[in-house]
Structures are given as structure tokens and as C-alpha cells.
Structure 1
Amino acid sequence: MSDIEFKQLAKQMAGKQQNGSSILLLSIITLLAIIMLWAAVTELDNVVRGSGKTVSEAQNQLVQSSEPGVIRSRYANEGDVVSKGDLLFDIDPVDAKTQLDQALKRSASLNIKSIRLRAEVAETIPNFPADLIEVAPASASTELALYQARLDDLSTKEAILEQQRIQKRNEIQELKIQVETASNGLKLIRREIATIEPLVLSGLAPETRLITLRREEEDMLGKANTAKSGQVRLLSGLDQIDEQLRAERQSYKTIALTDLSSIESETAELSARIPALENRVERTTVRSPVNGVINKLNYVTDDAYVSTGDVLLEIVPTGSDLIVETRIDPKDIGEIVIGQEVKISLTAYDPSRYGRIDGRVESISADALGDPQTGEQYYSADVSINGTLYEDDGAEVTILPGMVASIDVLSGKRTVLEYFWQPIAKTKDRALRD
């Protein structure tokens, strides 16, 4: 081959290589253009993901102890399915029993005291019923002793006043004798004066004798008047003694009536309390308030002491609709609104086999919440379940409260180009700010 032919062949081969490179470049550019066009027009679902668990829309029921006491028996375990009215715990209400015993004993004591006081008012002997003595024997003995002591005290006071009456009557009798003696002496003196006075006027007797008789008359008259005044005073004293006797008896009854009035209010209060205490003692059982599943059991041993209001267990109600209680990342909360459609996946049922359930955002918390254990911030959203899952044979699967779920919130659409461009734009914007 000559040089000229070789050069011509080389030029032809170079031209073919140039044409091949141009075609390849043009093909790449065309492919990129097609990809960009596809990315610009093809839309994808914009999804916000969250996680949570299924809960009853009726909220979990906390079963509390209505009375303090000691657990005698437990009839339920975690995970048990219970019906409304099922027996859960048997509790011995020791505090209520103690209070009832004290109230019954106090009531018996007050009734015994009331019988004693009524006997004092009626001036009879108290007669305590055997059932009251059995409940409060010490009170019966005390009230009987008090009755006797008060009666003895009254009798002593009456005896003293009666002794004073006798003494005054004796004094009155002595003064009566003195009055009679003075009256008789006065009569004799006046007869003697009547005899002497004419003789003195006639000069047959000395005037001094008449003066002496007049002096004796005045003296005897004074003694008679003094004795009469003493009688009046002593008779008045007898009236005072009678008044004191009446006052002592009245005071005895008044004290009894006052005490009786004071205990009647307490007796009425106890009469109202005792039925309530008896009702509390009878409430020794704790029963399920709803149909559901026991989620958490706080007391698992017998003989444990519980106080009023202590939470014994937690029941997840069944028979009501379930919702998914979901946690949403605060950075995504702006893309979620009430009413948005949701796709729900349950970890208990493989989505690749069972699929996903449709749902709807029903509520969103007004503010971010914090996990007390991790400190993680999140928003809470309640998602309703609007469908179900099916087994291969067409049977519905059972969805229970407490199942872990993940949700995909369809917050809108964006193109493939926007999907890839968004992180680049964020990086660019941050770089420009820096």
C-alpha cells in the first residue's frame, strides 16, 4: 500500500471515530434530557412517617380501691380477658371494720347513757338491755355507777336540807313556847298592874311598884315580840329549805336533760354513719367496670395493703373502636393537618402479606410533649382506623389494643426532581448563610 492510500484510510477512520463520539454525546444528552423531563413531571407521594400503638378510643380504665384494706385474694392476671362485673380482687377492709366496731361501741355507750339519763329524769332505776351490755359492758358499769353516785349525792343534799328543816321546826317550837310563856307572863303582869294602879292613885301603894310593873310589862312584851319575829324568820327559812330541795331536784333533772340533749345529736350522727360504714365493710370485692383486657396489674401478692384510691390494675376496654396513638417528629408537624389520609401498618401483621389499613388524622396535640424517660420531644396525633386486614382465607384478623403501628401520612405530592433538589437547595441555602 502506498503512502497516499494509507493516509486516505487513516482520514476515513478518524472521521468515523468523530462521528461515533458525537452520536454517543448526543445520546447521553438526550437521555439526560428525558430523565430530567421525567423527573420534572413525575409525582411521588410526600409521606410523613410516625410510630405509635393501638389504643381503645374509650381510654384505658384504671380500677382503684374504694376502701383501704388488705388483699385477701386476687382473681386476675395480666392479659386476662374480663367481662363487666367479673371478680378481680377480694379485699379485707380492716380500717372500715375498725371504724364500724368503734361506731357500734360508741352508739351502744350513748344508748346506755341515754337510758341512765332518762331514768334520772323519770326518777326510776335504769334497766340496760342485754345486747347493749354485750357490746359495751364497761359503759354499762360506768353509767350504773354514775347513776348511783349522782343519786347518792342528791340524797345527801336532801338529807342535809331535811336536817336543817327539822332543826328549824324545833327552833320554831321553842319560840312558840317562849311566845306562850311571855303571853302568860304578860297577862299576869297586866292583872297585877290593874290591881296596883288604883292603890297607887289612892296613895295606898308606892308609885315605884307601879313603875316596876310597867317595866316588867314592856320587857315581857319585848320577849313575846322577839319570839314571834323569830317564828316568822324560821318559817321563812322553812320556805327557803323547801325551795332549795326543789332546786336540787330540778338541778339533778336539768343536768340529766342537758346531757341527754347533747348526746342526741351525736346519736343521730352515728345512726347516719353506721349504715355507711356497714356498706363500706360489705364492699370487700373489686369487680371489672367494663369488658376488656387486663393491661397492667399493680398488685400481684396477697396480704398486700392498699389505700383508698390506689390503682389496682389497668383494663383496656374492648368492644369500642380502636385508634392509633401516634408520635410525630416536631420537624414534620407542619405537614400534618386534621383530616389527612393515613396508611397504617401493624408490626404484628407483615404489610407485604396483609397490606396496610386506611386511616384518618382525627386530632393533633396543641403543643409538643416530652418523653419522661428519653426526653424526646414529639407531637401526639390520634389516627382513626377505617378498615381492617384479612387472612388468606378471607377472615378478618384481630386487632388488639397495644399493637405497635407505623403510619404514613400522605401530606401531598412532589416531583422526583423536587425530591432530589430539596436537600441540595437546603445545603446551598445554609452555605450561603454561613
Structure 2
Amino acid sequence: MAVLKSYRFGVATFLFFLVTVIWSFIGTLDYVTVTQGVVTPSNKIKKIQHLEGGIIRSILVSEGQRVEEGTPLIELEATKSEAELNELETRLTALQIDLIRLEAEQKADKQMDAGEGKEVGRRRLVFPEKIRDQYPSKVEKAVSLFHIRNTALKNRILAQKNVVQQKKQDMEEIKQRIIKNKKYSKILEEKIKISEVLLKDDLSNRLEHLIYLEQKIGVEGKVNEDYWSLAKSKTVISEAELRIKTLKDAHREIAATEYSEKSNAYEELRFRKSRLLDNRSRTMIRSPVGGRVKYLYYTTVGGVVSPGAVVVEIVPRAGQLMIEGRLPVNEKAYVEVGQSVKVRLTAPGPAGFGQLDGRLDYISADSISDQNGLTYFLTRITVDGDSVSYNGKSYQLGAGESVECRILTGQRRIIDYFIEPFWKGANEALRER
């Protein structure tokens, strides 16, 4: 019985050593380099500034508070009053009404009709429905002014057209008179010829013959006067038609000049309104990203924010977390970019939570010395995820937390630990130094 127990013990011992040897050849241990690091977001801290500055009306967040994109942070007093905005709106509307009227005036002479009335003017002036509803009196005044100026132009043009018409009638009368006098002149010529024959035969006296000659000269004089009157009438008609064109051109030019001036004024006021609205919209400072409020530069209601000053710092939540670590100088030879990293918390509370996987993305080209004289290489490690969990509880990492980073630099078989002393001893044997 004792022999059997001894045999079993020997077999068990042999199997144990056999498994141990196999495990030492198969099993591996990790080479790690341990560094201390600080959690930072991959998106850098956002420093929020305000362009114009102003007086703080209210502070809506506190340091450490989580915020979403668009969350109000600080409200400033409006530097421009609502009354000024309303005044600009009224002036812009008045200018817009004038621009519509002046544009219609520039086109009015092309379709002008002396018989048009105020209703025609109203139909030509097309105003937006919003303006008609909110400013009916201004619209009515614009229509009335359009009608008055249009009517004045029509009356001046009508007066010149009447001159043209009258002169054309005079020209017809002159032409008829010329025809009549020319016929009468021919009759007188015949009478003179007959009188000359009779005078030779002493059948007529010279006085009667002179009367015929006098009448012919008088008729020819009237014909010449009528030709001169005809030319004068043509000149008057040309001048009247030129005045009509000048009146239309002057009316259009005045409207165009006034349109240009009011258009420039309209653009200037529109720009001022845009700046005023933009300024009013920026009185509320909002967070550009989701994250946590790191630091408030102004904490006093009623305080003055300088133009362009940084107001709030936000630590973004979006993007992967990044660990900035300090690699000891003597470990630099074992570490290279791309190696795997295990990250765990070092704080007493959440230290029992799990660990996160990461990757070494950056090693500084040169060593850095801090204020205490410690020299190190700066490393950056990208972490997969932003929270760790343990027993159903989850803890989200935040910027500024300290972590421990274990950089996997290689692996080694267990048997190598047993063989290395013998190899080392063999290599160093039979040497004096």
C-alpha cells in the first residue's frame, strides 16, 4: 500500500514538472513600460471669445458644469436699443416705397396716356403685401406723389402737343392759301397779257394795266410770306417735339438720380441694420461644442468684457480621449509608435474599475525637462472609448484625470527566464574583466 502511494506521488510529481516545463515553453509574459499620464481630449480646449465685448447681464453656467452644443453660457447687455432698430426698419420701409415709386416713374413715360388717372398710377405701383398692410398711409402718399408728378409731366407734354397740333393746322391753312394765291397769280398773269395787247391797240388805258401789275406783285408777296410762315411753323413743331423729348428725359433723369441716391441710402441703412441684428444676436454667448466648462474668466454680473477677450474655456466631449504621458528617458529604447497600451485609473475611488485599450501615437523627438529638473519624453496615447466599468457601474473619464499607462514593448517565454542566467554565465566565463 505504501509502495502504491509512493508510486502515485511520483507520477503526480512527474506530471506536474512535465506540465510546468511545457507551460514554460508555451507561456509568455509581457514586457511593459509604465508611464504616468493625464487625460486630455483629442479636440483641444475651446477658448470662447466675444468680438465687441460688453456688460455682463447674467452668468448662466458654473465651472465644471456639463454643457451641450448651443447651451447659453453668458448673456451680455444689448449695446443698441430696440428703438434704434425700429427706427431703422421704418426708414428702410420708407426708402423701399420710394424706390418702387421712382422705378415706376422711370418707366411711366413709355406708356404715358394723357387720359390716365390716379387708378392707373395705383395699378402701376406694385407694393409687397406686408408693406401695404403695415404702412398703408405711406403707400397712399407714394401713389399720390406718383400721380401728381406724372400728371404734371403729362400736362407739360400735352401743352407742347397742343402747340404741335395747332401749328400743323396752321400749316394746312397756309398750304391751302398758297394754292389759292398761286391760282390767282396765274389768272393775273393772263389778265396782264391781255391788257398788254389791248394797250398796244389803244383799247385799254395804262392805269388799268398798272392795277393788274400791282395785284400780281401783291399776290406773289403773299405767297412768299406763306412759305416763310410754313417754314416757321415747321421750326416751331420741331422745337415742341424736342421739348417733349427733353421733358421726358429730364423727368426720367430726375427719377434716376433720386433713385440712385435713395438706393445708396437704403444699402447703407440695410448694412447698419444687419450689424445691429448681428450685434444683438451675439449678446448671448453660446457653447460651440458639447463638453464641460473648464474656466470662467468673468464671474461678476455687471462686469465689462473687453472686445476680443476670452470669456469661457470649454473642454470638448466629442472625439477620442487622448493621454499625454511622460516616458522615462531610460525606457525610450524599448518604446516605439504603434505599440499597444493598457490604461487604468490611479484615483483611489475608481481605481478598481477596468482598463481601456489604447495605442501609442506619438513620441517627442527630443527630451523635455520640467521645472523640477526631471527629464522625460512626451507621449500621446489614443484611447478606444471614454469610460470604464466594473460590476455594472460605469465611470466616464474626464479631462485632467491622472491615469497609469502600461505600454506593451514585447513578450518573453517563461523558459527564457530560467535559461538566461546559464547563458549569461557561459558567455561571461573564463574572462578576467
- What TM-score bracket applies, with the shorter chain setting the length? 0.5 to 0.7
Determine whether 1:105 maps to 2:91: yes
Question: Aligned match of 1:72 in 32, 57, 74?
Answer: 57
Determine whether 1:364 maps to 2:350: no
Residue 18 of structure 2 corresponds to which residue in structure 1? Answer: none
2: CA distance between counterparts of 1:333 and 1:244?
97
Residue 12 of structure 1 corresponds to which residue in structure 2? Answer: none
Cα drift, residue 266 of structure 1: 11
Flag the 1:165–1:79 CA change in 2: closer, same or farther, 3 A. same
Contact 1:324 1:385 in 2 (8 A): no
Cα drift, residue 313 of structure 1: 2.5
Q: Which amino acid aligns with 2:383?
A: S
Flag the 1:203–1:88 CA change in 2: closer, same or farther, 3 A. same
2: CA distance between counterparts of 1:199 and 1:76?
133
Determine whether 1:53 maps to 2:38: yes
Query: Which aligned pairs between 1:108-123 and structure 2 lie closer than 5 A?
Result: 108-118=94-104, 121=108
Determine what percentage of the aligned residue pairs are the same residue: 17
Residue 296 of structure 2 corresponds to which residue in structure 1? Answer: 297
Flag the 1:177–1:155 CA change in 2: closer, same or farther, 3 A. same
Q: Secondary structure at the match of 2:38?
A: strand
Contact 1:50 1:329 in 2 (8 A): yes
Q: Secondary structure at the match of 1:233?
A: helix
What TM-score does the superposition give when structure 1 sets the normalisation length?
A: 0.55
Q: Secondary structure at the match of 1:230?
A: helix
Deviations along 1:53-95, one digit per CA (max 9) or x if unpaired, are 1134566555566998764322112222335664322245657
Query: Which aligned pairs between 1:71-220 and structure 2 lie closer than 5 A?
Result: 71-83=56-68, 86-91=71-76, 94=79, 102=88, 105-118=91-104, 121=108, 161=160, 186=185, 193=192, 196-203=195-202, 216=214, 219-220=217-218
Q: Which amino acid aligns with 2:196?
A: E
Q: Which runs of 5+ in 1 are unaligned?
A: 1-42, 422-434
Flag the 1:168–1:274 CA change in 2: closer, same or farther, 3 A. same
Determine whether 1:229 maps to 2:227: yes
1: CA distance between counterparts of 2:310 and 2:230?
86
Flag the 1:179–1:131 CA change in 2: closer, same or farther, 3 A. same
Cα drift, residue 109 of structure 1: 0.7
Flag the 1:327–1:265 CA change in 2: closer, same or farther, 3 A. farther
Contact 1:364 1:381 in 2 (8 A): yes
Q: Which amino acid aligns with 1:90?
A: E
Contact 1:154 1:249 in 2 (8 A): no
Q: Which amino acid aligns with 1:236?
A: K
Query: Which aligned pairs between 1:273-288 and structure 2 lie closer than 5 A?
Result: 281=280, 285-288=284-287
Cα drift, residue 295 of structure 1: 1.0
Q: Which amino acid aligns with 2:340?
A: Q
Cα drift, residue 114 of structure 1: 1.9
Contact 1:364 1:379 in 2 (8 A): no
Q: Secondary structure at the match of 1:365?
A: strand
Contact 1:82 1:293 in 2 (8 A): yes
Flag the 1:304–1:324 CA change in 2: closer, same or farther, 3 A. same
Contact 1:71 1:306 in 2 (8 A): no
Residue 381 of structure 2 corresponds to which residue in structure 1? Answer: 382
2: CA distance between counterparts of 1:372 and 1:229?
115
Flag the 1:78–1:84 CA change in 2: closer, same or farther, 3 A. same
Deviations along 1:285-309, one digit per CA (max 9) or x if unpaired, are 444466532112344454645769x
Flag the 1:59–1:180 CA change in 2: closer, same or farther, 3 A. closer
1: CA distance between counterparts of 2:166 and 2:392?
118
Determine whether 1:349 maps to 2:334: no
Cα drift, residue 246 of structure 1: 4.0
Q: Secondary structure at the match of 1:380?
A: strand
Flag the 1:101–1:63 CA change in 2: closer, same or farther, 3 A. farther
Which is greater in Rg?
A: 1
Flag the 1:203–1:319 CA change in 2: closer, same or farther, 3 A. closer
Flag the 1:270–1:133 CA change in 2: closer, same or farther, 3 A. farther
Deviations along 1:388-409, one digit per CA (max 9) or x if unpaired, are 597xx99777743212345453
Flag the 1:389–1:187 CA change in 2: closer, same or farther, 3 A. closer
Deviations along 1:80-117, one digit per CA (max 9) or x if unpaired, are 23356643222456579878965763343122232355
1: CA distance between counterparts of 2:236 and 2:369?
91
Contact 1:53 1:402 in 2 (8 A): yes
Flag the 1:134–1:403 CA change in 2: closer, same or farther, 3 A. farther
Residue 411 of structure 1 corresponds to which residue in structure 2? Answer: 409
Deviations along 1:260-292, one digit per CA (max 9) or x if unpaired, are 997899989999998998688567544446653
Contact 2:33 2:407 in 1 (8 A): yes
Cα drift, residue 189 of structure 1: 5.3
Q: Which amino acid aligns with 1:365?
A: Y
Contact 1:60 1:316 in 2 (8 A): yes
Q: Which amino acid aligns with 1:402?
A: G
Flag the 1:226–1:325 CA change in 2: closer, same or farther, 3 A. same
Flag the 1:129–1:317 CA change in 2: closer, same or farther, 3 A. closer
Moved more, 97-106 or 72-81: 97-106
Residue 315 of structure 1 corresponds to which residue in structure 2? Answer: 314
Residue 340 of structure 1 corresponds to which residue in structure 2? Answer: 340
2: CA distance between counterparts of 1:305 and 1:208?
118
Flag the 1:45–1:239 CA change in 2: closer, same or farther, 3 A. same
2: CA distance between counterparts of 1:92 and 1:102?
20
Deviations along 1:180-234, one digit per CA (max 9) or x if unpaired, are 9977995895586366323223145688985x66764663343133123124323
What TM-score does the superposition give when structure 2 sets the normalisation length?
A: 0.55
